[in-house]
Structure 1
Amino acid sequence: MEEPAAGGGAGVANGAAGVVEEEEEEPPRSATAKQEEAKAALGAEGSRPFTMRELLVELKEDGEAAGGSGGGVKPAFGARSGIGSVDAEGSSYSQESTQQLSSHHDVAMDLINSVTGVDEEGRSRQRILSFAAKRYINAIERNHDDPDAYYNWALVLQESADNVDPHSSSSKDALLEEACKKYAEATRLCPTLYDAYYNWAIAIADRAKMRGRTKEAEELWKQAILNYEKAVLLSWNSPQALNNWGLGLQELSAIVPAREKQTIIKTAISKFRAAIQLQFDFHRAIYNLGTVLYGLAEDTMRSGRPGVSPSELYSQSAIYVAAAHALKPNYSVYHKVTLLLLSFYVVQLPLPYLKVGYLTAPPENKAIAPHKEWERAQFVLNHEGLEQVASDQPPQTQSPEHLDSGRKLFRVAVADIISVSACADLTLPPGAGLCIDTIHGARFLVADNWEALDGWLDAIRLVYTIFARGRSDVLAGIITG
């Protein structure tokens, strides 16, 4: 689900429509039929990446204040002082270049004016966009070096493309192509304009989607990915850009030769995970990570490659989709896909838990202990916390204190957690260290490897985030049936 550049974007398709209504009971279906339905649901586009809904509000207010004949239009993200400050009189452009520029403007204006919208609301919005385009043309003719004017004009073209009749793909593509040219000019004038790279990538991605799985689409996806990368370099703490970058990689992986697919998918997973680490409740990235893991599980199942088992990947996929549903219970697409995933014999959460696995734990109340006293044990994680349930050591190898029936097992309540992080410390046994900082002090565990640790880190963070957002009851409902 791609994120918009600013607030006000669309929600999830078939999603946020209030409380999900109870559906009629359907006849029993085979596991294969359910899997096909899940594939369709997981592959469906989640939310449409609108670029700037707030822009339309500003343009409408400005147009009304100007009476349609005067006043300027505010840039969507505000003009920056000191950039493009040369006025018209001091411009070095020749009259011939200015005429060429005006001719190019006419092409873009003709495209915008050809859009009428499919209903009265669409036509009203298009009139506002046409009014704004004229203002930005005038601004550029006064100052050819104004990156904000080019950027905002590109937004107008991109919004006009969204207003095109759905059956007129050629008109939409032409508008998006013009928007890309304006973004290119804006970034040439101001190479640090993060928003331009971000929305430019969305425009390119929209053009790629129109071309299916073709060589031309592959090249466009690569261009979009490159622009998302530039946007992240300029604003490393943008979970939206990382999420969209992951989506672009996911789309590209469906086009490239099979030998390149695994590398691209793993990179996509890293982008979604990075987005979640920046914003733990970013449900779109959480859901998208679930979908890409589901796709990886399908590919692993078909290819029979050694490594992570498909069942493990399916279960990981279910964890993320269930977490997204818990954070946004009214999004019907999350609700539906969660039910579908949990109904498969190959995609089962270890109910009534969210995650079950092995970690190496120290003796209770003895965080710093000799390595020989740590033991590998089975742990479970649900909506209440993380708990040790069984030792992995055979009884004959355990010391007398281990056999003491009164011995306490390792347990962390989710309400006690302050933070969770990876750690590397010589006091810990070999493996991937995990530190859970609690109100009672730090608790340490060791995972078998760093890949396993990533799964535990994400799962614990998600459970805590769900608890902090007051959604533990939703998660409890999912994992307890």
Structure 2
Amino acid sequence: MAELKAAMAALAGKNAAGTPMSEAATTPKPLTPSALSAHPSWFVPPHLLRLPAVRTAAFAAHDCSRAACANPQDFDCVYRYGLTLQELAGRLGSQPADQLALLNQAAEVYLEASRLAGDRHAAVLYNWAVALTDIARLVQAQEPEEAYECLTAAANKYAQSLAVQSDNPQACNNWGLCLQSLSSLRPPAERPAYLHHSLSKFRRAIRLRPDFDRACYNMGTVLYAHACALQEALLASQEQAEAAQLTAVASGSGRQGSLPLSSPTAGARGGGQQLAAERAIQSTFAHAAQYISLAYAMQPGKQVYADSLSAVQRLLPLPWLRSGPLLAVHPQTAGTLGEQWVSCWFALDHNGLQAVRPPTAFAGQHGLPSAPLPIGYELGDVADARRVNDPSLPAGAPFWLGLQSKPRGVYLVAADEDDAEGWVDAILLLSHLRRSGRLGGIKAALAVR
């Protein structure tokens, strides 16, 4: 790993000891044929050439290594060698030591290929990031700090790749997975920030490609894991509070004139906070189930999606995919100078978005009317959906629906950004499923069992 660490230090503008270097010192020197020949790591280990299972891939990498040594300034030769090394490593699943050696070598080769391309070749940067991520996976158990360095470098490579080619949904998805892996190596207090950035990458991937079922599924699983962590934290907090109360009772049992442990006001406040926390957890579980259900609808034949749907379907607000309070313009005042905004409970399914009667637990809250207002938008009428930033709209997180029947569209306001983004994702993906004639999967996912 010494070569990889040195390369990563150089990219950060530091020498191997971690001290800053001059600009001249950070410029990689071109590799000459003699230098390559003297570098044994730039050749395929001979014993791999004798393994029948990888013989073809090993000889392809061997041929590419000779071509790269003969033409060290030829970008195509060097880059092709990196690709063959990475492919060979992928075929050695039961030999992690050889895998690690080949991936380290591939990372060095990609460093040189990137230099030859002026550090502006999206595919090189992308494959370099994949190699670094695979290295992190192999070393994480024994060397978590090294894994963290590799994942950080991989995240930077994905960012650089997308800066060159911004419309690559696979790079966005991989970047999200990389950030998720990074979060597991950080203290609990730092993980929410990684989670937020991870979700933003998955979201960008599905906005670029609405049929990207894997990115949609990844978003659901990350949200589900986050909801479980929130639930565990709440339970731990409750246990600590109960233990503290028992200790206080025991220590104050013999005192005369001792004050009560809590007042009715404090108890109500604590109960309100706990209720809010429980509802936030329930909402996060429902959001996770939304994305897993949509992934299943895109590819109902994938067993992992079907199994996951069975586990989370009960978390959905059935028979809806998504539901919750939104601010909307009262239909009687729409289009007038005195538009009146009202809070309504909206629900979304394969037919569209409509105001419905709120659940009993939410009746009378958020200013919700007892009877639903006649507000609804058919899915077939939805042409677009996006977040907006308009100071003339009510406080909250607004988003816009582009409708074929209303060229100017309509605005709705969610409680916060995460809620608004969830609505937009659900509407866009359901619209895509409808246009592609694949609503059968979501109908099955929303069927009450």
Q: What TM-score do the two structures reach when normalised by structure 2?
A: 0.76
Superposed, which structure 2 residues align to 1:58-457 within 5 Å? Answer: 98-104=33-39, 107-111=41-45, 114-116=48-50, 119=53, 122-123=54-55, 125-126=56-57, 129-131=58-60, 133-135=62-64, 137-141=66-70, 143-164=71-92, 166-190=93-117, 191-213=119-141, 214-304=144-234, 309-343=280-314, 348-364=315-331, 366-369=333-336, 373-390=340-357, 409-425=374-390, 428-441=393-406, 442-457=409-424
Mapped partners of 2:81, 2:193: distance in 1: 37
Count of paired positions: 370
Q: Is the 8 A contact 1:367 1:443 kept in 2?
A: no
Choose 305-314 or 249-258, whichever is displaced more.
305-314
RMSD: 2.8
CA shift, 1:449, in A, is 2.7
Aligned to 1:49: none
Tell me: higher relative CO, structure 1 or 2? Use CA pairs within 8 A at least 6 residues apart: 1
Amino acid at match of 1:100: A
Higher-helix-fraction structure = 2
Mapped partners of 1:199, 1:317: distance in 2: 30
CA shift, 1:116, in A, is 4.7
* Cα separation, partners in 2 of 1:356 and 1:201, compared to 1, 3 Å: same
Mapped partners of 1:331, 1:317: distance in 2: 18
Q: 1:237 aligns to what SS in structure 2?
A: coil
The gaps in structure 2 that reach 5 residues or longer are 1-28, 238-272
Mapped partners of 1:145, 1:426: distance in 2: 55
* Cα separation, partners in 2 of 1:184 and 1:139, compared to 1, 3 Å: closer
Choose 213-222 or 468-477, whichever is displaced more.
213-222
Amino acid at match of 2:82: A
Mapped partners of 1:472, 1:137: distance in 2: 53
Percent of matched pairs sharing the same residue: 29
* Cα separation, partners in 2 of 1:377 and 1:151, compared to 1, 3 Å: same
For residues 227-279 of structure 1, the C-alpha deviation after alignment (integer angstroms, 9 at most, x for no partner) is 11111111122111111011011111111122221211111111111112222
1:467 correspondence with 2:434: yes
Q: Is the 8 A contact 2:44 2:65 kept in 1?
A: no
CA shift, 1:171, in A, is 0.9
CA shift, 1:434, in A, is 2.1
Q: What TM-score do the two structures reach when normalised by structure 1?
A: 0.71
Amino acid at match of 1:228: Y
CA shift, 1:215, in A, is 1.9
Q: 1:181 aligns to what SS in structure 2?
A: helix
Q: Is the 8 A contact 1:243 1:275 kept in 2?
A: yes
* Cα separation, partners in 2 of 1:472 and 1:365, compared to 1, 3 Å: farther
